[in-house]
Amino acid sequence: MTTFQSENPEDLWKWMTAWEEKTGGSLLAIPHNGNLSNGKMFALSTFEGNPLTREWAETRARWEPMYEITQIKGDGETHPSLSPSDEFANFEKWDEANLAGVPKQPGMLEHEYARQALAQGLKLEAELGVNPFKFGFVSGTDAHTGLATAEEDNFFGKHTGVEPSPHRWEHDVIKTPQVNIKGWQMAASGYTGVWATENTREAIWDALKRKEAYSTTGPRMIVRFFGGWDFAPADAQTRMPADAGYAKGVPMGGDLRTAPAGTSPSFLVAAMKDPLSGNLDRIQIIKAWVDPSGKLQEKVYDVAWSDGRKTGADGKLPPVGNTVDVANATWTNTIGTPEMITVWKDPDFDPKLRAVYYARVIEIPTPRWTAYDQKRFGIKMADTVPMTVQERACTSPIWYTP
């Protein structure tokens, strides 16, 4: 099944149904990062412009349990204009154009990014009885090279035309009379971490189907995320957080049902750095919900952080610092920490409202691939080209449904 036969995802779902019936095999579909989808990825109508139905929502949720939130053509978690209070929202953005190179139109962005789709899914669930946007997070490179090279210091680009060279940073990736996206805007991203019961195709498929997986922008950090009703601080004082996680709650991708009286959901979250990458700056939990008036809401909570920093009067943590030596494309792990683990309880919980939570782990600043290229080839890029990056991982969400 290809787009030459149909661009309508409903036709793909029908083909998948027929394939499973014919072969006895199992399929799932993972949509590409929708940040250039012309507002179609999470549109509130079908491909043909018809109203959404419960059957449509059930079918999409069945066949698309995972969603790619980052890759070479930028990051699709959220956007600064959609999450203005999120200081880490402006990460590897390709927001000048759609896939055809046409400048963005008003109203497109809110239907292209994952965080807003998660919130919109809660609203659709209340209307349709099923959440069509109940997906976990994965990532890929979208590279056409056959190489798994998403690290900043080993980035081979999307295709052979943008392999390492002194000039790839200024290569025209998209060029129209209105828009010009350059090679330096490619992101060295991303990978998927999967919590499978064993290293087999079947077990990995099962983990993706149940959404027990997470996205990283390149580092191979280890991240755990569990939700429940009675996690205690002592559960974070262990080398095996999964023991308490599975015993007391559900893992990333799971569901919390009606809250016990007088309780709020608690979350056990743990992260360990990639041995070859930067230390960790902080762990955040992102919450999205629909308020009683039907308005979509979100909030970012810092739940663990390094270096003994204190929040300011605005409730924000000061930056972790920056040890990057751009000229030599190096850094030191003298700030940050190798690992973090904590238990956090939602202080703003309303048991009557649907909500969705996921964890985001932020690294300290490290050299971006552009800094490595600049050093490697002895060139000087334009001052507008970023030379540092704060890599991150995002877990699949956990949903609360009254």
Judged against a pLDDT cut of 80, whether residue 264 lies above it is answered with: yes
Which of 105-109, 182-186, 194-198, 199-203 shows the lowest mean pLDDT across its residues?
Answer: 105-109
Res. 101: pLDDT tops 80:
no
Give every CB contact of residue 1 below 8 A, 6+ residues apart in sequence.
11, 12, 15, 16
One-letter amino acid identity for 250?
A: V
Domain contains 179: yes
Q: Is residue 1 part of a domain?
A: no
Residue 187 is inside which H or E element, if any? none
pLDDT in tens, 193-225: 999 999 999 999 999 999 999 999 999 999 999
Average pLDDT over residues 141-155: 92
CA distance 295 to 150: 37
Residue carrying the six token digits 């409903």 = 10
For residues 397-401, average pLDDT: 97
Q: What is the pLDDT of residues 215-259, one digit of tens each?
A: 999 999 999 999 999 999 999 998 899 999 999 999 999 999 988
Q: Is residue 371 classed as helix, strand or coil in its secondary structure? A: helix
- Which of 101-105, 302-306, 363-367, 380-384 has the least mean pLDDT? 101-105
Q: Which residue has the higher pLDDT, 44 or 96?
A: 44
In a domain, 4, yes or no: no
Nearest to 369 by CA among 320, 326, 319: 326
The yes-or-no verdict on residue 96 having pLDDT over 90 is no
Query: Would you state the structure tokens that stand for residue 218, as one six-digit string?
Result: 């390149």
pLDDT interval class at 95 (50, 70, 90): confident
The shares of helix, strand and coil residues in the chain, as percent rounded to the nearest 5, are 20, 25, 55
3 in a structural domain: no
pLDDT band at 104 (very low <50, low <70, confident <90, very high): confident
User: What are the phi and psi torsion angles at 359 (to 5°)?
Assistant: -100, 145
pLDDT at 306 over 80: yes
Task: Say whether pLDDT at 352 is over 90.
Answer: yes
Q: How many domains does the chain have?
A: 1
Average pLDDT over residues 306-316: 93
With cut-offs at 50, 70 and 90, classify the pLDDT of residue 394.
very high
Residue 259 DSSP code: P
- The predicted pLDDT at position 89 comes to 97
Which strands, in side-by-side order, build the sheet including 266-272?
Answer: 249-251, 222-228, 266-272, 339-345
Q: Residue 188 domain-assigned?
A: yes
Residue 103 — very low, low, confident or very high, per pLDDT cuts 50/70/90? Answer: confident
* pLDDT reading at 275 higher than 90: yes
Pairwise CA distance, residues 176 & 331, whole Å: 38
Q: Which two tokens stand for residue 126?
A: 């209340």
Whether the pLDDT of residue 21 is over 80: the answer is yes
Is 233 within a domain? yes
In angstroms, the CA 204 to CA 196 distance is: 5
SS (H, E, C) 244-256: HHHHHEEECCCEE
Least confident of 34-38, 82-86, 301-305, 325-329: 34-38
DSSP letter at 160 equals G
- Give the pairing of strands 255-256 and 398-400: parallel
Q: Which helix (H) or strand (E) holds 399?
A: strand 398-400
pLDDT at 179 exceeding the cut of 90: no
* Numbers of helices and strands, H then E, in the chain: 6, 20
Q: Is the separation of the CB atoms in 240 and 270 below 8 Å?
A: no
Task: Give the rounded percent of residues in the chain with a pLDDT score beyond 70.
Answer: 100
| Residue 397 CA: distances (Å) to CA of 117, 192, 204, 250, 355 | 12, 14, 18, 11, 10
Does 29 map to a domain?
Answer: yes
- Indicate the pLDDT class of residue 303, thresholds 50, 70 and 90: very high
Range of the domain at 313: 9-400
- pLDDT for the residue numbered 100: 74
Distance of CA 84 to the CA centre of its chain: 17
Residue 370 pLDDT > 90? yes
DSSP annotation of 170 reads G
